[in-house]
Amino acid sequence: MPGYDADGRSGPVTLQSSDLDETRLVLAEHFYSNFVDMLEPSESLDTQLRVTNLGPITIGDVRFGTDLKLRLHELGAYHVDLILSGRLEWQQGRDEPRVTTDTSGAVFQPVGDTVLNRWTGDCRLLAVKIDRGALEMQLARMLDTPVGSPIPLAPRLDQSRGPGRTWTNMVRTLAADALSENLGLTQNPLLAEPLQEMLLRGLLLAGDHPYRGRLATPGGPYPAPRGIRQAIDLLHSHPEQPVTIAGLADTTGMSERALQAGFQRYVGISPTAYLRQIRLDRAHDELRQAEPGRTTVAYVAHRWGFTHLGRFAGSYRARYGVSPSQTLNASA
């Protein structure tokens, strides 16, 4: 249960438990719905958890004292696990299985089924859950340009050196303050928002992703020209409608060549690929919220401009690591 200081600020939630159901409920409340398997039935569960919320960021200090497997499905948020001891074996979507230790943080996308294949008994980590919209909005502000979603963050963050080490130390320092029973400055309203922004900006500067080069440009990233911004707004406003490069160029007053080059420079992909991402994201969101008995994959695909169901399914699986029907049925 959380405590409160003299100013009425809530302290961290704490849990010490050997009960698997209680552990699952607290993890679901503060992180993600889950299924947990004990891999060493002869050993006892010894959950030690402290978690706090810093606006769009949730930080938890977590260990279980025995080997576990956790199935989390889609996270819906960006997430970084910083290993303090032990080892974490994990896989997301169709990516290859990975092993994370105290030299490299595990970086998870908001999409794709997530499985922690083995959380070793000696593994203790700082779990950092980051609101999807907050991180994407932060990147858009830093670039002064709308960005594709999700941000393709690399799955590994080097904790041993450079920017990755700096960001890790920032998280550890803030976690030590925020998870302490004697609340410090982390939860102070005058500092909370700047500290949250520092973590968001820091991750975008420390992690590998296609936008990192522009963020590192001397003098800061340059904003996209008005025509490119206008084209991006048009694609977001009615992504289900037919769009041609020629029509988009005419509407924005740009040549087709300039439009294509501008997207590659400021967005990182072509206008057609950007539109496909928007459509896939809209279809994905609708399938997650739909009732299986009331809609079909074919209906949602056609609604968002995909006329070839097989190609839609292939692109969907490549982006989210699961088939459209799996997403629809998981919403039941």
**How far apart are alpha carbons 60 and 12 in whole angstroms?**
9
Residue 304 has pLDDT above 90, yes or no: yes
Predicted TM-score (pTM) of this structure = 0.75
Q: Give, in order, the Cα–Cα distances in Å from 288 to each of 74, 247, 327.
A: 10, 32, 6
Phi-psi region of 253 (alpha: psi -120 to 50; beta: other; left: phi over 0): left
Lowest mean pLDDT among 87-101, 105-119, 187-201, 298-312: 187-201
Range from 112-116, 140-144, 232-236 that averages highest in pLDDT: 112-116
Q: How many residues does the chain have?
A: 332
**How far apart are alpha carbons 126 and 45 in whole angstroms?**
19
Q: What residues contact 220, with CB distance under 8 A and at least 6 apart?
A: none
- At 293, give phi and psi (nearest 5°): -80, -10
Residues 87-98 have a mean pLDDT of 93
Residue 50 has pLDDT above 60, yes or no: yes
Q: Which among 78, 152, 128 is positioned nearest to 108, based on CA atoms?
A: 78
Side-chain half-sphere CA neighbours of 273 within 13 A: 11
Residue 109 has pLDDT above 90, yes or no: yes
Residue ranges per structural domain of the chain: 13-214, 226-330
Residues 154-160 have a mean pLDDT of 93
Convert the pLDDT of each residue in 228-284 to its tens digit: 888 988 998 889 988 999 999 999 999 999 999 988 888 778 999 889 988 998 998
- At 100, give phi and psi (nearest 5°): -120, 135
For the domain covering 13-214, report its CATH number. Answer: 2.60.120.10
Q: Give, in order, the Cα–Cα distances in Å from 329 to each of 74, 114, 219, 258, 289.
A: 13, 17, 48, 43, 10
**CATH superfamily of the 226-330 domain:** Homeodomain-like (1.10.10.60)
Same fold, 13-214 and 226-330: no
Query: Which segments of the chain does DSSP mark as H helices, in order?
Result: 20-30, 132-143, 162-178, 189-206, 212-215, 226-237, 245-252, 256-266, 271-289, 297-303, 309-320, 324-330
